[in-house]
Chains A and B, each alone.
Chain A
Amino acid sequence: MPTIFLLFLTSLISVAVPYSEFSRAPYVQLANHEMTTVVWRTAGPSTPVVKYGQAADQLTEEVPADQILIRLHSDESGPSPLFHDTPKGTHQFEATIKGLSPDTIYHYGIFQDGKQITVADGTHHFKTHPIPGSEAPVYFWVVGDSGTGGSAQAKVHDAMIAHNEKTGRKLDLYLHVGDMAYGSGTNKEFSDRFFKMYEPTLRNTVCWASMGNHEGRTSKGASGIGPYYDAYICPTKGEVGGLPSGKEAFYSFDYGKVHFICLDSHDLDRKPSGEMAQWLKADLEKTKAEFLIAYFHHPPYTKGSHDSDREGQLIEMREHIMPILESGGVDVVFTGHSHIYERSMLIDGAYQTPTTAEGVVLDDGDGDPAGDGAYRKSKGLAPNNGTVQVVTGHGGTGVRRVGTIPLMKRIIVENGSCLFTIKGDTILGEMLNLNGEIRDTFAITKKGVVEHTPIIDPWQPEPKGRVAGKSSPKVPKNTTALIPKNTKWSYLAGKQPGGSATDWTQTAFDHSSWPTGAAGFGYGDKDDVTYLSKMRGKYTTVYLRREFDLPEGAKLDSMGLSVSYDDAFIAYLNGKEVLRVGVEKGQGATAKGFMLHEADNKFDYFPLKNVAKLLEPGGTNVLAIEGHNANLKSSDFTIHPLLLIAK
């Protein structure tokens, strides 16, 4: 909070009115390995104390009332505006608990007149940071653009809680990359769309926030005044490690061996000569952490609801700030603003406008330990050794994609959030959607010395709306089905067909051991006839074969496939590949570079061109299809092909 705010001790205030209800429930802020701050608001004055201890029923220590800071409405405290637009009478209490042990869980309660006024259910607790530089792992949640107060935001939060309950994990901290209180970050919007929504999490997990453009309508980074700065207590003096920034708009903090850096991309000078960039340079030169995470609101790379090739703040963060971060050895950059999930390959030096992929991708794999393998970096913070960019602006508002950044490995247009673990030598990141499904996984392993050579012609995602074959939602008129809906196919699931990668597509291939089942094939989404119950988490590819006859006089060049698919497939006619949709390269087990696609109970039509020469009128013809799921843990898979021809 800005220093111009006057701080009063409760002992200076006459207590005339008894305790009134919380107008903002208790939440934890500004924590380090020996300190945590508990903050709450009431609609009127009171003289509370905070009691704490290492068990919920043993709150033996106390922060007395005269050591709790109070902030008041400006009309009641003097010339300086303590709050931006809080109702008169509002009291904000800030109790700093000091002298704590590192890496330890403490419970706390707020007491008034000897009576506990927080619920004594054991959920008001916090864990102190480990000793700076220690090996302790950290598990954190990252959310952006969530502040609608609506159902999607609630589901994203609920999904995180359910996931943690299922996996038995507890958050160590929470990063918010901005736009947490639509539409203008007013006091009321903060209360309704942030504090009420996340209250069960905020009471025991510190949210380290970065200001978004919507909060920026009422809060100013330069002065540190506004509802955003009222709500958060951010380090300005290096209280949690990192170099003192002197202002709450940008800061850094340490957790074990991880250094976190928060920047204000909204309303401060973003040039390398500006105060924020100069602080960033100095902070990066000082830190001796082994992992480096940066977060701010405006993404350097996005084509979600915003376009980083066109918008000034985004371009400046890329052109001015990213070179400093990458020369400092940053590992992951989290941003929001753009309402989408986009996750890059391992990149370095992609500062040009418009963004291109040539010569800036260091590893074009998917980074998934169960896929292409984790991205590799040198131990410690090596300059320009590779960064993964994560746009996580999908925390609660409507999602959208306007195009494709060629650096992105995953582009997912769903609401969700990110869960990250840093343990040992590895950063593991997962994207959890609002249904609780893991939709992306990647890792960065840092050990030894890793030298990368930029890839001249790296893998690139398909442009938006385009797949390798040209599709149309409409089937041409006057067609008939050579292989109609729900036809029985021979299929192979969970195994690889024998022979070379495409032997199984040949007409003479012996598929007698393959089972048969009616299309569609898959799981999830309740749109499949042959349900592949063991597919999720076990395998990603299903092989289909179906023989068909050609009617006399068939117009062979009018043939087309109508397919409902999730996520990708390759089609073969009589052993020759005729269509590839959402698969970059390879076949079968070697297929790589999948685009995500939802079937949505729809069929896309793909004309098959120049196939007449492949067909055997009067003979046996085989349509073979390999269906691919982009992610082993995907929530659904579908492949349901129809073969059509003009009547």
Chain B
Amino acid sequence: MPISVWGHHSVDDTIKELTQKLSKSPTSELYFKRAIEYRALRKSKECERDLRAALRLAPDHYSSKMALARLLMSSQRYDEARTYSHEILKSASTLPRMIEARFLSAELAQVRGDYDKALKVCEDIQKEFPDHDETIDLFHAHLLIKDEKASEAAQLLQQAYRRTHGVVIRNSWIDASLLAGEIEPVWPVIQKELADSRFKAAWLIRRARVAQLQGARAQMQKDLKLALMELETRIKPERPDLTLISDRGLALAMKGDKELAKKDLSLLQKSGFPTRSFLFLEQQLND
């Protein structure tokens, strides 16, 4: 029975089988499938070669073009990625593909430093495709925050939260609101989560940010101390959960332990955390 029917036995076996098939009768689909297997093995060069081969055979092969554009973007070859992105934008015909193509275009603009274009594309997605994935809302909000429009970001995220009910959107809305100095709408959520949660550090830090905004320094220090004490019990020093390092860095920065906070920031940066995930930490360090 062909491997592709019953599920492959190993990536190497699948590549071998696809190579045999390609030697007999090459098709864009077979090249695309082999490219995906190479991608699984993190063999970017071979993956790119096969995606290009697939597009030579079928220039409109959507999946190959999208995968190639993303691969080029990740290897910082933005000009060529943009060429493919334009082609994808023109050819995408179904609703999910139209959204996916726009989002690629926005991400590409952002990594090229063209924030205005990235924002414009996101705004277009908001208007034209109201049922888009919330990942786009998170990205859009980040662009707004970078553009010092935290209040707009908070509004956008609140609307997205009403649509999806996703907790990451909700927490991002709270964080953007605090950045904008808008305490009132998010305060009840912070209070409730503090009361309900098993681990409270992330919510103690948010309450500390409220105290910081209100100038209640003693309350802020008290909450930060409690948060750091809890994080101490949760962080395994030799192999830490980076999401907790992100929390600790922020708490340390707010508390005034900037050197320790910088160490945490450095660890996050070395681990490939994207900038948007420690915007607040950077802001505190810069204050």
**A383 engages B5 (CB within 8 Å):** no
Query: A310 vs B166: C-alpha distance in the bound complex, in angstroms?
Result: 33
- A284 interface hit (Cβ, 8 Å): yes
Query: A98 vs B140: C-alpha distance in the bound complex, in angstroms?
Result: 38
Known: A273-B273, A285-B202. A326 touches B10 (CB 8 A): no
Interface stretch, picked from B78-86, B167-175, B178-186, B207-215, is B167-175
Contacts of A222 in B (CB 8 A): 100, 133, 135
**B241 engages A323 (CB within 8 Å):** yes
Query: A236 vs B163: C-alpha distance in the bound complex, in angstroms?
Result: 11
Minimum CB–CB distance from B18 to chain A (whole Å) comes to 13
**A148 engages B272 (CB within 8 Å):** no
**A244 engages B243 (CB within 8 Å):** no
Binary contact track A241-268/B, C-beta < 8 Å → 1, others 0 = 0011111000000000000000000000
**B242 engages A383 (CB within 8 Å):** no
**A383 engages B233 (CB within 8 Å):** yes
**B168 engages A275 (CB within 8 Å):** yes
Interface stretch, picked from B54-62, B119-127, B148-156, B191-199, is B191-199
Query: At the interface, is chain A mostly helix, strand, loop or mixed?
Result: loop
Query: A223 vs B166: C-alpha distance in the bound complex, in angstroms?
Result: 14
Contacts of B8 in A (CB 8 A): 305
- B116 interface hit (Cβ, 8 Å): no
**A398 engages B6 (CB within 8 Å):** yes
Q: Which of B100, B134, B236 contacts A327 (CB 8 A)?
A: B236
Contacts of B246 in A (CB 8 A): 272
Query: A409 vs B167: C-alpha distance in the bound complex, in angstroms?
Result: 38
Contacts of B236 in A (CB 8 A): 323, 326-327, 348-349, 383-384
CB < 8 Å A-B pair total: 160
Binary contact track B78-105/A, C-beta < 8 Å → 1, others 0 = 0000000000000000111001100000
B63 closest partner in A (C-beta): A217
Query: At the interface, is chain B mostly helix, strand, loop or mixed?
Result: helix
- A307 interface hit (Cβ, 8 Å): yes
How many positions in chain B have a CB within 8 Å of any CB in the partner chain? 57
Minimum CB–CB distance from A53 to chain B (whole Å) comes to 32
**B198 engages A145 (CB within 8 Å):** no
**A4 engages B7 (CB within 8 Å):** no
- B218 interface hit (Cβ, 8 Å): no
Known: A223-B96, A247-B133. A272 touches B198 (CB 8 A): no
**A285 engages B7 (CB within 8 Å):** no
Interface stretch, picked from B39-47, B248-256, B257-265, is B39-47
Binary contact track A599-613/B, C-beta < 8 Å → 1, others 0 = 000000000000000
Query: A283 vs B166: C-alpha distance in the bound complex, in angstroms?
Result: 11
Minimum CB–CB distance from A110 to chain B (whole Å) comes to 30
**B7 engages A313 (CB within 8 Å):** no
A237 closest partner in B (C-beta): B165
Contacts of B240 in A (CB 8 A): 323, 327
Binary contact track B59-73/A, C-beta < 8 Å → 1, others 0 = 000000000000000
**A286 engages B138 (CB within 8 Å):** no
Q: Which of B40, B41, B138, B272 contacts A275 (CB 8 A)?
A: B138
**B39 engages A312 (CB within 8 Å):** yes
Residue from B164, B201, B202 having most chain A Cβ neighbours under 10 A: B164
Q: Which of B9, B94, B272, B276 contacts A398 (CB 8 A)?
A: B9
Q: Which of B168, B241, B242, B271 contacts A246 (CB 8 A)?
A: B168
- B239 interface hit (Cβ, 8 Å): yes
**A310 engages B198 (CB within 8 Å):** no
Query: A285 vs B200: C-alpha distance in the bound complex, in angstroms?
Result: 7
**A272 engages B273 (CB within 8 Å):** yes
Residue from B41, B200, B276 having most chain A Cβ neighbours under 10 A: B41
Known: A327-B241, A398-B6. A223 touches B41 (CB 8 A): no
Minimum CB–CB distance from A211 to chain B (whole Å) comes to 14
Query: A237 vs B134: C-alpha distance in the bound complex, in angstroms?
Result: 14
- A287 interface hit (Cβ, 8 Å): yes
Q: Which of A183, A312, A400 contacts B42 (CB 8 A)?
A: A312
A280 closest partner in B (C-beta): B243
**A245 engages B167 (CB within 8 Å):** yes
**A223 engages B99 (CB within 8 Å):** yes
- A306 interface hit (Cβ, 8 Å): yes
**B134 engages A3 (CB within 8 Å):** no
List residues 58-109 of chain A with CB under 8 A from any CB of chain B.
Answer: 79-81
- B277 interface hit (Cβ, 8 Å): yes
Query: A386 vs B287: C-alpha distance in the bound complex, in angstroms?
Result: 40
Query: A305 vs B9: C-alpha distance in the bound complex, in angstroms?
Result: 5
**A383 engages B168 (CB within 8 Å):** no
Known: A81-B94, A285-B199, A313-B40. A236 touches B164 (CB 8 A): yes
- B11 interface hit (Cβ, 8 Å): yes
- A546 interface hit (Cβ, 8 Å): no
Contacts of A565 in B (CB 8 A): none
- A293 interface hit (Cβ, 8 Å): no
**A223 engages B40 (CB within 8 Å):** no
Contacts of B95 in A (CB 8 A): 4, 79-81
Known: A285-B202, A306-B11, A312-B39. A182 touches B241 (CB 8 A): no
Known: A80-B95, A313-B40. A247 touches B134 (CB 8 A): yes
**A275 engages B134 (CB within 8 Å):** yes
A244 closest partner in B (C-beta): B165
Contacts of B135 in A (CB 8 A): 222, 269, 275
List residues 261-314 of chain A with CB under 8 A from any CB of chain B.
Answer: 269, 271-273, 275, 277-279, 281-288, 305-307, 310-313
**B171 engages A236 (CB within 8 Å):** no
Binary contact track A210-254/B, C-beta < 8 Å → 1, others 0 = 000010000010111100000000001110000111110000000
Contacts of A287 in B (CB 8 A): 198
List of 7 A-B pairs having minimum Cβ-Cβ separation, nearest first: A246-B166, A246-B164, A273-B277, A327-B241, A4-B131, A285-B199, A323-B241
Instruction: Pick 6 A–B contacts, CB within 8 A, sort by A.
Output: A148-B7, A222-B135, A223-B99, A327-B235, A339-B7, A349-B239
- Taking Cβ atoms with an 8 Å cutoff, the residues of B that contact A are 4-11, 13, 39-42, 94-96, 99-100, 131, 133-135, 138, 163-169, 171, 193, 196-202, 233-236, 238-244, 246, 271-274, 276-277
- Taking Cβ atoms with an 8 Å cutoff, the residues of A that contact B are 2-4, 79-81, 145, 147-148, 150, 179, 182-183, 214, 220, 222-225, 236-238, 243-247, 269, 271-273, 275, 277-279, 281-288, 305-307, 310-313, 320, 323-324, 326-327, 339, 348-349, 351, 381, 383-384, 397-398, 400, 402
Given contacts A145-B7, A284-B199, A285-B202, 19 further A-B contacts (CB under 8 A): A3-B164, A80-B95, A81-B94, A81-B95, A179-B7, A224-B133, A236-B165, A245-B166, A272-B242, A272-B271, A273-B273, A281-B202, A287-B198, A306-B11, A311-B41, A312-B40, A327-B240, A349-B236, A397-B7
